[in-house]
Amino acid sequence: MEQLLTANVANGLYWFGRYLERVESTLLEVVTAFDDIIDIDKDAGKKLYNKFELEIEYEDSKEFLNNALFGDHTSNINTLMECARENAIICRSNMDTEAFGTVIELSDFIKQGSVHFQVDCNFIDTILSLISEIWGELTRKEKRNTSDYFIRLGKLVEKDDFHLRLERNKRLSLVVMDEIDKIVEILAPDAKFRPHDENDSYEVILDSINGKINKIIIE
């Protein structure tokens, strides 16, 4: 794992992992809400975005899909992917070449989709397929470098953050936290943090995660 990274590159790798995971997790939730709007609850999309602390308006499932992906809000998929792309560019020399190329391809596809393509579940499936391809390209190596751990850390932290903010099963969040702790021990072996259990609040767990990241990246 001998690989020297600047703080700027380490931060970029971490946030690349977070933003790409955020795009993926958001799209999966959007697809579920889209199906619910059609079959169960017309307000499912509004309830989802309330958990993101955002308001979204729509008349039907199609308008929900358009506004969810490309509306004027901070969870706009084009904006999130652009953030992932910018961080990938910062870390280009420390990222798998094929993965970087797929990141650029995905970013361009989303940007074109906001103008030229019909936004539907096929469009989302293509995005999710490209994201899976990126994760695969980043993890196929037999030996992991420090850069790989920072990307993985970002992915896991975003997964847990997303899961906790939606107030899903806390036990699963703690399983992800255990994975985060294993990476933390590799990147910062001298840092000591207390474990968590299901009695801790969502806020306590999120604060703990952020504290660990600050210890590794900022300090």
Instruction: Tell me what pLDDT residue 172 has.
Output: 81
DSSP symbol at 216: I
* Cα of 2 vs its chain's centroid, Å: 26
pLDDT reading at 177 higher than 90: no
Mean pLDDT to the nearest integer, 150-156: 93
Mean pLDDT to the nearest integer, 119-147: 91
Domain-wise residue ranges, the chain: 7-218
pLDDT reading at 1 higher than 60: no
Distances (CA, A) of 196 to 66, 74, 170: 39, 30, 11
Mean pLDDT to the nearest integer, 91-112: 95
Task: List the one residue out of 83, 79, 99 whose CA is nearest residue 11.
Answer: 83
Provide the 3-class DSSP secondary structure of residue 43: coil
pLDDT reading at 3 higher than 90: no
